[in-house]
Amino acid sequence: MTNRTVAAARSPRGSPSLLRATEERRDFRIMCPDELASNKLDAVLGATGRAYQWPVPGYAEHLATDGRVLEVLSEHLCQGWLQGYLLTGRHGLFSCYKAFVSIIDGMVTSTPSSSRCRVKCPGGSRWPR
């Protein structure tokens, strides 16, 4: 990522430009437990839609089969998606309410422990880091 792209990521208003800058590589996603608009990140929906695979109902807004916003009401699922995405060398943003940060902190803190286990376990060197 360029310095300009990183600077755009620091501002919710700059997030659509970050998604546009990574459109060709498609290596940036936003994982959000049903709080995109509440966290004032809904401007990104001008650059991409919410990922949705089933037939899109006519009344639905901002859904796309190639969308790069993953929004579901589960902090645990979003954290797992992001962890897997990051382990494969890609980039992402996890958006969360302040009240739920303690839940997320516990999950993020355990990630280095599982990484150490992968290195020490038999065959663990074959797993993604």
For the chain, what are the domain ranges?
A: 3-126
3.40.50.970, 3.30.360.10, 3.30.450.20, 3.40.47.40: CATH of 3-126: 3.40.50.970
Determine the pLDDT at residue 6: 46
Determine the pLDDT at residue 59: 87
Contact partners, residue 125, CB within 8 Å, separation at least 6: 118, 119
Determine the pLDDT at residue 117: 63
pLDDT along the chain (129 residues), means of 10: 48 76 93 84 91 86 91 88 88 85 80 65 57
Burial track 2-36 (b if 16+ CB lie within 10 A, e otherwise): eeebeebbeeeebbbbbbebbeeeeebbbbbbebb
Determine the pLDDT at residue 3: 46
Determine the pLDDT at residue 50: 92
Q: How far apart are CA 103 and CA 17, in angstroms?
A: 30
Determine the pLDDT at residue 33: 87
* Concatenated DSSP letters of 106-119: HHHHHHHHHHHHHH
Determine the pLDDT at residue 53: 86
Determine the pLDDT at residue 27: 93
